[in-house]
Amino acid sequence: MTYDFDAWRARSPYYDESHDALAESVRRFVEREVEPHIDQWEADRQLPRELHKKASEAGILGLNYPEEFGGHSEGFDIFHGMVVTNELARVGAGGLGASLMTHGIGLPPILAIGSDEMKKQIAPPVLAGDKIIALGITEPSGGSDVANLQTRAVRDRDDYIVNGQKMFITSGVRCDYMTTAVRTGGDGAGGISLLLIEMDRPGVSRTALEKMGWHCSDTAAIYFDDVRVPAENLIGQENGGFIGIMRNFNRERLGLAMGCCAFARVCLEEAADWARERKTFGKPLAGHQVIRVKLADMARRIGATQAWVDQCAWAEQEGKGQPADFAMLKVQATEMLERVARDAAQVLGGASYLQGSKVERIYREVRVNAIGGGSEEIMLDLAGRQLFGGNR
């Protein structure tokens, strides 16, 4: 038995031949439609819109969304989502999954608590890849402290008038819609609403942000200056937005953790291939004890984390998912990736420091995983409060 990228799934009780077939299909898509262009898109600082269209036609965008809106959910289980995340990560550029699949965070609040009219209007073009939807929660004043966000929407007859700004918005440069958290009421979580804002409304402006990694994913600061939004754009109840934001988090953290396992596997695969080929002191690198021990240690960390990812995924599917588990899982996954990316870089040596190597890119993208979607510190504090500290 030798190491390969796909071996982990073969001995797992959660994955069968339908997961393999879907993985195969998505891998074909990535090989043909993504790999030849990814370096260009990284340089362009965004994905082309045609890619969303192609991903829709390939059945990737609509996976696990209702048929009536152009999605397909027949036969879906949560592990199909896991293999799609795994395959999208294989190209070694985290911006791909982040930006191509932004609807995975922008659309669910609308489908969960939005009006039927809004679902019919927004979901089909998004799932068809014709429109891009983003999620706007974080502000310059703070990210994880959602309950204290400052962007304000004031009711004026049939409209809301929105003022404020959003920060670090994934797909923020290109998005047509943004599911936006705004303050419509008093202080705290009970004063927050979700508002669908069309980005071509007068008073909306945006600035692209340059980042350490995720280069092919456009990220923006977005400004609202007396933006007039019809009241029917309210998603769910006024001042009832906090729940809509929170209900998404388990799956988002699960997806991030799965992505970390996949990126770590890419690192290990790159390091292992290099270690078998590169000769030093008369034998392949992998023939040196210090190197093969390092590789085995990487495989050990990935295997343990993947096992917990799969178990949490199963719990979520069974309706038994606990927020504390997903918060801790995300920390487990990002710390694992940080270590594995480092070890891969050590095995590859100078080659890992050159731009264009997958390990170089993943190494840079460790930070966005460890900070985005809830920083490690916030995650552990959340878990600690739930498990040990009461709600104080």
Partner 1 sequence: MKILVPVKRVIDYNVKPRVKADGSGVDLANVKMSMNPFDEISVEEAIRLKEAGKAEEIVAVSVGPAKAQETLRTALAMGADRAILVQTDDEVEPLAVAKILKAIVEAEDPGLVILGKQAIDDDSNQTGQMLAALLGWGQGTFANTVEVGDGTIDVKREIDGGLQTVQLKLPAIVTTDLRLNEPRYASLPNIMKAKSKPLDQKTPADYGVDTAPRLTTSKVTEPPKREAGEILEDVDTLVAKLKEMGVA
Quick one: which H or E segment has residue 225? strand 219-230
- Known catalytic residue at 252: yes
- Of 8, 9, 15, 29, the one binding partner 1 (CB under 8 A) is 29
Position 76 contacts partner 1 (CB under 8 A)? yes
Least distance (Å) from partner 1 to the CB of residue 55? Answer: 9
- Tell whether the torsion through CA atoms of 143, 148, 150 and 154 is positive or negative: positive
Told to check if 22 binds partner 1 by CB under 8 A, we report yes
Q: What's the full length of the chain, in residues?
A: 392
Q: Is 346 helix (H, G, I), strand (E, B) or coil?
A: helix
26 binds partner 1 (CB under 8 A): yes
Q: Rounded to an integer, what distance in angstroms lies between the CA atom of residue 272 and that of residue 332? A: 23
For partner 1, the binding residue among 37, 49, 53, 72 (CB under 8 A) is 72
381 is a site residue for partner 1 (CB under 8 A) = no
Based on the shown chain and the rule CB under 8 A, indicate whether residue 286 belongs to the binding site for partner 1.
Answer: no
Q: Single out the residue of 14, 18, 39, 211 in contact with partner 1 (rule: CB under 8 A).
A: 18
For the CB of residue 4, give the shortest distance to partner 1 in the complex, in Å. 7
Q: Which is nearer to partner 1, 58 or 245 (CB)?
A: 58
Helices (H) and strands (E) in the chain, counts: 15, 10
Q: Are 97 and 218 in contact (CB under 8 A)?
A: no
Phi and psi at 131, nearest 5°, equal: -125, 150
Number of residues that bind partner 1 (CB under 8 A): 24
Find the shortest distance in angstroms from Cβ 72 to partner 1. 5
Q: In terms of CB distance, is 57 or 145 closer to partner 1?
A: 57
Name which of 59 and 323 has its Cβ closer to partner 1.
59
Asked whether position 17 contacts partner 1 by CB under 8 A, the answer is: yes
Beta strands in 15-151 (DSSP E): 133-136
The amino acid at residue 73 is S
**Contact region with partner 1 (CB under 8 A), list: 20-28, 299-307, 321-329, 357-365:** 20-28
11 belongs to the binding site for partner 1 (CB under 8 A): no
- Residue 65: CB minimum distance to partner 1, A: 11
Distance CA 220, CA 178 (A): 12
Q: What are residue 245's DSSP bridge partners?
A: none
* CB-based contacts of 255, cutoff 8 Å, min separation 6: 81, 85, 104
Give me the least distance between CB of 84 and partner 1, in Å please.
9
- d(C-alpha 166, C-alpha 223), whole Å: 7
Which residues in 33-62 contact partner 1 (CB under 8 A)?
57-59
Is residue 265 near partner 1 by the rule CB under 8 A?
no
Q: How many Å apart are CA 321 and CA 309, to the nearest integer? A: 12
Minimum distance between the CB of residue 207 and partner 1, rounded to whole angstroms?
36
Residue 17 or 210: the one with the smaller Cβ distance to partner 1 is: 17
**Which CB, 26 or 329, lies closer to partner 1?**
26
- Name which of 194, 19, 172, 37 is nearest 110 in CA terms: 194
**Closest by Cα among 75, 33, 74, 37 to 56:** 33
With helix as H, strand as E and coil as C, how does 26-43 read?
A: HHHHHHHHHCCCHHHHHH
Of 12, 28, 156, 349, the one binding partner 1 by CB under 8 A: 28
What is the spatial distance between Cα 105 and Cα 127, in angstroms, rounded to a whole number? 13
Identified catalytic residue from 87, 252, 365, 376: 252
The pair of structure tokens assigned to 79 is: 């592990």
Q: Parallel, antiparallel, or unpaired for β 204-208 and 159-170?
A: unpaired
Residues 165-194 that bind partner 1 (CB under 8 A): none
Residue 35 CB, nearest approach to partner 1 (Å): 9
Q: Which are the catalytic amino acids?
A: 252
Binding site for partner 1 (CB under 8 A): 1-2, 4, 6, 17-18, 20-22, 24-26, 28-29, 31, 57-59, 63, 72, 74-76, 80
